[in-house]
Structure 1
Amino acid sequence: MSGLLLLTSCSSAGRGPVIPFFGAYFPSWIACSLIGIIGAVIVRLIFIKAGIDAVMPLRVVVYLFLAIALGLAASILLFGR
């Protein structure tokens, strides 16, 4: 009986958010990761035009965390997770 209680989270009703794409189902984190990466590239292009990119220290770290923040924001806004 206690084993059944541990498996209750594996039911199909509690399945994580998925995105139907051409007949296949993809996890939502893939879409959120792509949104974060594309958003970070767009912000980088804006920073280059504004001249901020040239004087910014630790650019790789800044853009990495920016991509993570945008991906997490997309996850919260689109899927409520």
Structure 2
Amino acid sequence: MSKDEGQYDKVIPVFWATGAALVIRRADYKEVGGLDGRFFAHMEEIDLCWRLRSRGREIVCVPQSKVYHVGGATLKKENPRKTF
């Protein structure tokens, strides 16, 4: 663990962004075919970002963003696929 001294305040490139906080241009989303339905739940955003990067798009983390995520709706808590 490191002390937060502002080192996390800059926009930085990342390999992928989590789907709960992912913002993407509609044209880019459509160009790569959107989310792959073969992923039953979770991790599909990694694949999406991989395909975007392979077409020269940059994925960045913007620390100033605010995201409000009121729990998941894809799977119930007791679903065994949550531990996939």
Which structure has more helix as a fraction of its residues?
1
TM-score of Structure 1 vs Structure 2, range by shorter chain: under 0.3
**Greater Rg over alpha carbons, structure:** 1
Which structure has more strand as a fraction of its residues?
1
Q: Larger relative CO (CA 8 A, sep 6+): 1 or 2?
A: 2
Structure 2 length-normalised TM: 0.23
Structure 1 length-normalised TM: 0.23
